């Protein structure tokens, strides 16, 4: 979830120096800083449920993939943006912008939990920024207001989408060889989820 702050232009280098000193997260888009506001109970629950499901499966498979949740920044280029996805998976050796190891360059999967104020941005401009990542294979948008997961996946050069809207559905993530039941994503979130 984010809200636009004062219109101050910073270079990517200035942003990163400034951001590392801030008590709260701020994204960076086209020279503008966007403050990240707090997340709702359901947003936090869905983020945690998703991260746990992915992490547990990857550990069980003894995969070389790693899961990061909430505080790992991602940098895109050539249009430089710094973003804070809700959940990230990177496979193989993680690449970082510098030796501070807080800005990831090569995620294979990015997950955003939608908020009413950010849903359009997450589907549109933010997704366009993520598409610049050569490593990205899958992008998930998870609604917190209803059972709805939009699964974007890259096939050759074309991004395709599947939408899941039932707790009985199982999301198959080919890039990391995981299957996640929607019931697990929405555990203790949706009234009829167990």
Sequence ranges of the domains in the chain: 40-185
- Using alpha carbons, list the distances in angstroms from residue 104 to 66, 67, 100: 12, 12, 10
Token code pair at residue 116:
């009413």
Token code pair at residue 156:
């050759």
Whole-prediction pTM value? 0.91
pLDDT digits (tens, 9 = 90+) for 10-54: 899 999 999 999 999 999 988 889 888 778 899 999 999 999 999
pLDDT digits (tens, 9 = 90+) for 56-100: 999 999 999 999 998 999 999 888 999 999 999 999 999 999 999
pLDDT at 3 over 60: no
Q: Kindly state the DSSP code that residue 96 receives in the 8-state scheme.
A: B
pLDDT at 117 over 80: yes
* Mean pLDDT score, 3-10: 60
Sign for the CA dihedral angle at 3, 11, 73, 125 comes to: positive
Residue found by looking up tokens 């995620």 in the block: 107
Per-residue pLDDT, 14: 93
- Split at pLDDT 50, 70, 90, the class of 151 is very high
User: For the purposes of burial, counting CB atoms within 10 Å of the CB of 67, is it exposed (0-12), middle (13-18) or buried (19 or more)?
Assistant: buried
pLDDT at 134 over 80: yes
The architecture in CATH of the region 40-185 reads: Alpha-Beta Complex (3.90)
């Amino acid at each position: 979830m984010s809200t636009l702050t004062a219109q101050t232009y910073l270079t990517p280098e200035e942003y990163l120096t400034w951001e590392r000193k801030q008590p709260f997260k701020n994204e960076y888009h086209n020279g503008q800083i966007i403050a990240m506001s707090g997340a709702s109970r359901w947003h936090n629950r869905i983020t945690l449920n998703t991260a746990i499901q992915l992490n547990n499966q990857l550990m069980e498979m003894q995969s070389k993939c790693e899961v990061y949740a909430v505080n790992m920044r991602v940098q895109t280029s050539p249009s430089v943006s710094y973003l804070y996805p809700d959940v990230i998976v990177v496979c193989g050796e993680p690449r970082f912008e510098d030796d501070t190891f807080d800005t990831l360059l090569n995620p294979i999967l990015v997950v955003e939990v939608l908020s009413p104020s950010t849903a359009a941005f997450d589907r549109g401009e933010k997704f366009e920024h993520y598409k610049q990542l050569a490593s990205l294979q899958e992008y998930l948008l998870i609604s917190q207001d209803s059972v709805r997961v939009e699964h974007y996946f890259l096939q050759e050069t074309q991004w395709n989408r599947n939408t899941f809207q039932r707790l009985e559905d199982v999301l198959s993530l080919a890039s990391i060889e995981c299957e996640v039941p929607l019931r697990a994503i929405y555990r203790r979130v949706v009234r009829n989820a167990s």
